[in-house]
Structure 1
Amino acid sequence: MSTEPATGGDATAQIDVTESAAEQALSLIEDEGLDTDISGLRLFVQQGGCAGLSYGMRFDDEPDEDDTIYEHHGLRVFVDPASMKYIEGSVLDFESGLQAEGFHVENPNVVSECGCGESFRT
């Protein structure tokens, strides 16, 4: 298992999390009754959507052995090696507006997205 501090490591391999996303995720983790010192948000890529790939997120009790772990604003983010090649350099944000509210991944590796923005291609 490897760990990267919020400000360290290779910038292209970094996954950043905005303060608003971290606060929102930590609140949800606590609502689930999970320990925020051990548990975290798993960010992953899966096959699906009209553009070929889509993001997935879930809360995990603990990281897997081969995960990279990032810590931002008290939130632990777990990323598996297969997903890392698609999302390295990304920023996880939480957006709130008139149309929608939720987590959003700003991914510099995306070359195209579907019309609804739910899936992407690198």
Structure 2
Amino acid sequence: MSTESVDGSDTRPTIEVTEDAAEQAHSLLEGEGLDDGIAGLRLFVQQGGCAGLSYGMRFDDEPEDDDTIYEHHGLRVFVDPASLKYIEGSVLDFESGLQAEGFHVENPNVVSECGCGESFRT
């Protein structure tokens, strides 16, 4: 699914992936024995958490027919149409620190988050 503007440039909502996040995801894909040329990371939004919505991630063998597919640093990211409206313009990053390590979504559409940062509201 892609929208073309009059001048031919791609105008679909973007999901960016940092190099650190792509490297970590590639490592995990490899550990799962998945072909990163076909398989990818599914990024989605689900109901839940104290703020109403939460992010979900999993590896899928291949995209669904109606997914938007992004590719950054060789990592394929699959986003379903319902989730895309909540996370368009987001950046997927990987953070490591003293208290936690993991993937983090920087979402410009968020108007509030819960205290733990696991759920959000748009």
Do the aligned partners of 1:3 and 1:70 also contact (CA within 8 Å) in 2? no
Percent identity over the alignment is 83
- In terms of Rg, which structure is larger? 2
TM-score normalised by the chain length of structure 1: 0.92
Do the aligned partners of 2:68 and 2:79 also contact (CA within 8 Å) in 1? yes
Deviation string for 1:43-70 (max 9, x for gaps)? Answer: 0000000000000000000000000000
Secondary structure of 2:44's aligned partner: strand
* Structure 2 residues not aligned, in runs of 5+: 4-8
Do the aligned partners of 1:50 and 1:119 also contact (CA within 8 Å) in 2? yes
Do the aligned partners of 1:50 and 1:114 also contact (CA within 8 Å) in 2? yes
Residue 10 of structure 1 deviates from its aligned partner by 2.6
d(CA) in 2 for partners of 1:9, 1:110: 24
d(CA) in 2 for partners of 1:23, 1:3: 26
d(CA) in 1 for partners of 2:23, 2:2: 21
Q: Which residue of 1 aligns with 2:58?
A: 58
Q: Following superposition, which runs of at least 4 residues in structure 1 exceed 6 angstroms of deviation? A: none
Q: Decide whether aligned partners of structure 1 residues 73 and 3 sit closer, same or farther in structure 2, where only a CA change above 3 A counts.
A: farther
Which amino acid counterpart does residue 38 of structure 2 have in structure 1? I
Secondary structure of 1:56's aligned partner: strand
Q: Does 1:17 align with 2:1?
A: no
Secondary structure of 1:25's aligned partner: helix
Counterparts of 1:70-89 in structure 2 under 5 Å?
70-89=70-89
TM-score normalised by the chain length of structure 2: 0.92
- Over the aligned positions, Cα root-mean-square deviation in angstroms equals 1.4
Do the aligned partners of 2:15 and 2:88 also contact (CA within 8 Å) in 1? yes
Counterparts of 1:1-122 in structure 2 under 5 Å?
2=1, 9-10=10-11, 13-122=13-122
